Amino acid sequence: MKVSFPRMGNYDVPIRYFVRRVFDAEVVTPPAITKRTLELGSIHSPDFVCAPFKFNLGNHIEALENGADTLIQFGGICRLGYYGELHEQILRDLGYEFEFINLAGMRMKNPKSVWDMLKRYNEKLTIETLATTLPTAFTMVKQMDELEKHIRKNIGFEVNAGSYDLLYKAYLTEAEQVKSKKELKRAFSHYLKEIKAVKVNLPKDLLKVGLIGEYFTVIEPFANHFLEKELAAMKIYVTRNLNISTTVFHRDMPKLLKRVQHYVKYDIGATGIDTINAALSFARKNYDGLIHVKSFGCMPEIDAMSILQNISHDHEIPILYLTFDTQTAEAGIKTRLEAFHDMILMRSNTTRR
């Protein structure tokens, strides 16, 4: 098999690691998401569907063009979990022939059903291989999230520009080649130490901004017009709590609802409650501002926006709302970011006097 899957951030690295070992297949990684990816997906998508749908579809088309014969759809915790069937039908209507593995429909709490599905595609798969590969891939995701969290806060202040990028790329390359969880932990310890040793020049009066919103658009750099790099260039200390670790491995909805009970009592879907919880946390830590990111038409995040307004009012913290889709202009985003930066800078200077 020649297997491919949609991209999101750098998570293609642990996915490739998993697919090669569990499916015993060649991996056809789609090119990094570009304007062409979005255009391909948009042409064949319903007009008002969210941008992640279009990105995923564009990824599938580029993968098939590059020789993939098997596609994997991972789904998500919102409507994206239902998009696999639509993607498959659209691609077949376009005349492509392929095998489609929709993991969104798997009953993960039923180990036997998962095992039967995997054995269907790789008869040689052993319990031992799965038992070592799956935890290693999960550990890799958690390590990536921890390294990125440290880098995100400091990358705008590194003394030697590019130091973080070089170290992180080296970690990803080494991590994908490890043969055991032990080797992976050793690589992580080494690169965490190196990354923490990078010299930074943090000013006394830091501008701190919390990044919140819909998980695909927050995580995938192209989907948000490389927002984090733009903020780093403005010398802004950026924190983002949302990643795969927090939405898949460590998500406790009852605990989240308890934290935000003053503002909302029910789960509003997808990462809406995560957004509200993160906003409240940043506000209580006296951050200078929040940037809310979402794809056009994302209903849970639209629902969250009215609650965010209440948090903004109660804690006197400004929020910049950014919505992204096929028609979003990069120049417009930059202009709004510059205006937001000037506003929180003046506000910060006034407060500290």
The pair phi, psi for residue 37, each rounded to 5°, is: -55, -45
Helix (H, G, I), strand (E, B) or coil at 17: helix
pLDDT in tens, 250-266: 788 889 899 999 999 99
CA distance 86 to 105: 13
- Going by the DSSP 8-state scheme, the letter that residue 289 receives in this structure is E
**In terms of CATH architecture, what is 2-125?**
3-Layer(aba) Sandwich (3.40)
- Place 294 in a pLDDT band, splitting at 50, 70 and 90: very high
Note the pTM of the prediction, 2 decimals. 0.90
Length of the chain: 353
| 8 A C-beta contact, residue 296 and residue 279 | no
| 8 A C-beta contact, residue 6 and residue 74 | yes
**Interacting residues of 132 by C-beta distance below 8 A, sequence separation 6+:** 180, 181
| 8 A C-beta contact, residue 195 and residue 167 | yes
* Token pair 């979005």 in the structure block, residue: 38
End-to-end CA distance of the chain: 64
CA distance 30 to 16: 11
Report the largest interatomic distance among the alpha carbons of the chain, rounded to a whole angstrom. 69
Other C-beta atoms lying within 10 Å of the C-beta of residue 6? 29
What was the pLDDT predicted at 37? 93
Q: Does 80 score more than 80 pLDDT?
A: no
Distance from chain centroid for Cα 54: 16
What was the pLDDT predicted at 113? 76
**Interacting residues of 173 by C-beta distance below 8 A, sequence separation 6+:** none
The hierarchical CATH code for the domain 205-353 is 3.40.50.11900
pLDDT in tens, 89-113: 999 999 999 999 887 766 556 677 7
Fold matches, 2-125 and 205-353? yes
The mean pLDDT value for 114-122 works out to 84
| 8 A C-beta contact, residue 51 and residue 295 | yes
What was the pLDDT predicted at 119? 87
pLDDT in tens, 175-219: 999 988 999 999 999 999 999 999 999 888 889 999 999 988 999
What was the pLDDT predicted at 329? 79
Q: What is the domain partition of the chain in residue ranges?
A: 2-125, 132-202, 205-353
Distance from chain centroid for Cα 336: 23
pLDDT in tens, 11-52: 999 999 999 999 888 999 888 899 999 999 999 998 888 888
